[in-house]
Amino acid sequence: MRFRALHPLVLLLTGLTLAFTTTGCVGSGETVAPADTVSVRRFDQGRMWTFEDPPLDYFEQEYGFRPSDQWLRRARLGALRFADYCSASFVSPRGLILTNHHCARESVSDVSVEGEDLVEDGFYAEERAGERKVKDLYVEQIVEVRNVTDSVETLVKSAAQSNEIEAVAQARRRQSAQLEERLTRQAKRQDTTLRVRVVPLYEGARYSAYTLKRYHDVRLVMAPERDLGFYGGTADNFTYPRYTLDAAFFRAYTPEGEPVEDNVYFPFSRGGAQEGDPVFTVGNPGTTNRLSTTAQLAYERDVALPQRLETLRSRTRALEQFIEENPAAAEEYDLENTLFSLENALKATRGELEGLRDPALLARRQAGEETLADSIAATDSLQEKYGNTLREIERIQSAKRSSVRQMAAFTGFLNPRLGSHLLARALYAYYHDTVRRRPDVPPDELKRLRKQALEIEEWPAALEKRYIAARLRQVRRTLGPSAPIVRRALRGDSPEAVAQRLAQESALTDSIRFARLLDEGYLKSDDPSVPVIEPLASLFLELNRQQRDFALSEEALGARLNRARLAVYDRARLPPDATFSLRLSDGRVDGYEYNGTRAPAYTTFYGLYDHYASYRRAPPPNEAWDLPERWRTPPENFDRTTPLNLASTNDIAGGNSGSPLLNRDLEVVGVVFDSNIQALPNTFLYRSRAARTISVDARGILEALEDIYEADRLVGEITGSMRAPAEADVSGAASSE
């Protein structure tokens, strides 16, 4: 299950990025299988196709139909971005939206009123008037796609002439942001709900401008109980066979308060998909690293992922203990959802690390890299432009090794799920005081900095104490107890003693007092967090500048390497890495071999009840496989043989949660909610022998809505009582458009 991505708070001011990331570098000497023992395969870079370059010839060869322009247009317009963390789709001509229950959890919690626990009990609006508006929730639809590579490159020519790779990368970022702003202003003159997102593809070798229509009024229509929407809990996350009803429905409304009408949508298929059938996902995969070099992946294996894994383990333990001891506070701050996110990230990171430790994976990547290098060397013009690029990227990875130990002290420092909110506020306050003394900082930038600082939410003092102590222990362990920075921050006290003092006495635990400190001058105050953050912030900002420079260099070199790739390979055969932009992925419904047996293509409600009977009494008591009362005694007409979940070979990543799974007629046969554990290394290399995308079967959704929830209004809307698209609109044949 892919919960909301763990993105840190990001601050850009006078060229400084306060988001701390760790990516890239040379390996530690671990033996990698010789490249000549493996073969490069066509889809090693995956099947996340852009709508700009769909592989029409491949689709025709593989599936016997060639998507028309109209087919592609409908696929694009029916798909949605669900806020900034999931995918979704329109499933009726009245703005009805389908996504995942786990994407909806926060929204369901937000619309619960006093005395309700809709996450626990579920929700269904029997009438339209009962649909509940979710504050700040939005969905976006791509209404136009343009290639703007030439526009960006024209703007950065002067920087490119300097031959400084960092300057080139900075210029591209700056000019793409300015182009995005200008195109957005133009679009808003036509429609105030439009905005433009300029997205770098192939690490900046190409740029696309996506014009997005945003629907601001989104209302909850239906969500099942948590016990169904997250059936199996963390234990079943990233596994298959699965038995969960991870689906939810919303509706988009117009500014006038009426449901959106006559939108392009995907009707539900009552017949579903059969094993072997082609199926397509349309969604927004978050991040992959399939175009990174083997040197960069070796660093991920040796440094970045182990550091992240260690931090995730520490914070997960701290949060689990707090929730167990403070259930009321955990509910008030919705910390169960935060814990689910951490557990999800922990399992995903472990799976990715295990994948990179598989010598065969890096060997295949190495073989592909050598093939690319040979192709570059074989052409004089390519060799002259790009011949040294791989070596330069490797050199940067070696340089990054020098600060590995110091970087480990700050892993996830500004991540709202991995770092103390109090220390994050302290860092922002430190930086706010520092930059406002500089005459070259524009007032608007200072206001933006203050606004971002105030967006950091409060946490319970007892939880802050645990997180501050965990961070200070991490700093002491990685830098050493005798390091001057550690001695200055702790001043002879233990991490636990410092954490307790800050949690009890610092004004940063209170939003109002924090705002006052920002305005009056944090560093000149007597707040007990000041002597702690001063040495830490100094090192953090120094390291962050260094990492920013490394990142800019890698970004520019990555764009250069991918221009070489695009000169060698057809774009329709080489999809770019995921960028949380809309992609079309193809596959087939298929089971797979595992653990000496075979996972079926489908599971049914019988499996749900088998797990309920088998696990709920097993010690220790585990509520992950419990069922609500109405599910324990379903009506006689409830058909337990109905498919509930299904497996397919589609290519997905975090952000695809909620993507519709479609047949070739663009009918919904499922909704994507997870991958299996075997698919986690696909972040680095796409493999489909046992890697699978897991979806809730449309037939299971309908069976539950009809016979368990008696959601007649909703069933009528998604099963054809309303007009479906004309056959000519969704066929693969060429259209007149």
Q: Which runs of consecutive H residues, i.e. helices, occur in 403-494?
A: 404-408, 421-436, 443-454, 461-479, 484-490
For residues 567 and 509, membership in a common domain is answered with no
Gap between the terminal Cα atoms of the chain: 38
For residues 105 and 157, membership in a common domain is answered with yes
Q: Which of 514, 534, 551 is the last residue of a domain?
A: 551
Would 6 be classed as within a structural domain? Answer: no
Q: Which residues of 239-257 are buried (b: 16+ CB within 10 A; e: fewer)?
A: bbbbbbbbbbbbbbbeeee
Would 2 be classed as within a structural domain? Answer: no
Strand boundaries in 230-348, DSSP class E: 248-253, 278-283
pLDDT digits (tens, 9 = 90+) for 345-400: 999 999 999 999 999 999 999 999 999 999 999 999 999 999 999 999 999 999 99
Q: Which runs of consecutive H residues, i.e. helices, occur in 326-420?
A: 327-332, 335-356, 359-377, 380-386, 389-400, 404-408
CB atoms within 10 A of CB 353: 19
More confident residue, 13 or 598: 598
Structure tokens at 154: 């024209």
Token match 């070796």: residue? 298
Would 342 be classed as within a structural domain? Answer: yes
For residues 279 and 302, membership in a common domain is answered with no
Q: How many domains does the chain have?
A: 2
Mean pLDDT of 505-522: 97
Query: What is the pLDDT at residue 40?
Result: 83
Here the contacts of 721-724 (C-beta below 8 Å, separation 24 or greater) are 722/92, 722/93, 722/94, 723/93, 724/267
On the question of a cis peptide bond just before residue 34, with omega within 30 degrees of 0, the verdict is no
CA angle, 254 then 669 then 263, to 5°: 20
Q: Using an 8 Å Cβ cutoff, are 124 and 711 in contact?
A: yes
Q: Which of 529, 551, 573 is the last residue of a domain?
A: 551
Amino acid (1-letter code) at residue 154: T
The answer for residues whose C-beta is within 8 angstroms of residue 253's C-beta and 6 or more apart is 95, 133, 215, 217, 218, 219, 259, 260
The answer for residues whose C-beta is within 8 angstroms of residue 169's C-beta and 6 or more apart is 204, 552, 553, 555, 556, 559
pLDDT digits (tens, 9 = 90+) for 397-420: 999 998 999 999 999 999 999 999
Q: Using an 8 Å Cβ cutoff, are 45 and 576 in contact?
A: no
Longest dimension (CA), the chain: 77
Query: What is the pLDDT at residue 165?
Result: 78
For residues 546 and 637, membership in a common domain is answered with no
For residues 466 and 525, membership in a common domain is answered with yes
For residues 314 and 275, membership in a common domain is answered with no
The torsion angles phi and psi of 196, rounded to 5 degrees, stand at -120, 135
Strand boundaries in 682-730, DSSP class E: 693-697
CATH number of the domain within which 578 lies? 2.40.10.120
Strand boundaries in 6-138, DSSP class E: 12-13, 16-17, 79-82, 86-90, 96-99, 123-124, 132-133
Would 91 be classed as within a structural domain? Answer: yes
Mean pLDDT of 599-615: 96
Q: Which of 532, 551, 570 is the last residue of a domain?
A: 551
Query: What is the pLDDT at residue 727?
Result: 39
| C-alpha dihedral sign at 674, 675, 677, 683 | negative
Q: What is the DSSP letter of 37?
A: G
Would 591 be classed as within a structural domain? Answer: yes
Mean pLDDT of 264-288: 97
For residues 472 and 543, membership in a common domain is answered with yes
Cα 33 to the chain's mean position, in Å? 31
**Range of 257's domain?**
42-289+560-730
Query: What is the pLDDT at residue 689?
Result: 95
The answer for residues whose C-beta is within 8 angstroms of residue 345's C-beta and 6 or more apart is 3, 6, 312, 417
How far is the C-alpha of 543 from the C-alpha of 94, rounded, in Å? Answer: 51
pLDDT tier at 13, thresholds 50, 70, 90: very low
Say what percent of the chain tops pLDDT 70.
91
In 3D space, the residue among 309, 119, 97, 306 whose CA is nearest the CA of residue 218 turns out to be 97
CB neighbour class for 411 (10 Å; exposed up to 12, middle 13-18, buried from 19): buried
For residues 316 and 228, membership in a common domain is answered with no
Would 36 be classed as within a structural domain? Answer: no
For residues 220 and 312, membership in a common domain is answered with no
For residues 165 and 104, membership in a common domain is answered with yes
pLDDT digits (tens, 9 = 90+) for 478-503: 999 999 999 999 999 999 999 999 99
38-42, 248-252, 657-661: range with lowest mean pLDDT: 38-42
Query: What is the pLDDT at residue 441?
Result: 86
CB atoms within 10 A of CB 552: 21
In 3D space, the residue among 246, 288, 282, 291 whose CA is nearest the CA of residue 587 turns out to be 282
For residues 520 and 386, membership in a common domain is answered with yes
Would 60 be classed as within a structural domain? Answer: yes
pLDDT tier at 160, thresholds 50, 70, 90: low
pLDDT tier at 729, thresholds 50, 70, 90: very low
Token match 């990025």: residue? 17
Would 46 be classed as within a structural domain? Answer: yes
Cα 283 to the chain's mean position, in Å? 11
How far is the C-alpha of 326 from the C-alpha of 320, rounded, in Å? Answer: 10
pLDDT digits (tens, 9 = 90+) for 173-198: 999 999 999 999 999 999 999 999 99
Amino acid (1-letter code) at residue 171: A
The torsion angles phi and psi of 626, rounded to 5 degrees, stand at -80, 165
28-32, 167-171, 422-426: range with lowest mean pLDDT: 28-32
For 670, the enclosing helix (H) or strand (E) is strand 668-675
Q: Is the pLDDT of residue 586 over 90?
A: yes
Name the average pLDDT for the chain: 91
Here the contacts of 32-38 (C-beta below 8 Å, separation 24 or greater) are 32/294, 32/359, 32/362, 32/363, 32/366, 33/359, 33/360, 33/362, 33/363, 34/363, 35/363, 35/366, 35/367, 35/370, 36/367, 37/363, 38/360, 38/363, 38/364, 38/367
Token match 């992950």: residue? 624
pLDDT digits (tens, 9 = 90+) for 448-473: 999 999 999 999 999 999 999 999 99
pLDDT tier at 11, thresholds 50, 70, 90: very low
For residues 197 and 123, membership in a common domain is answered with yes
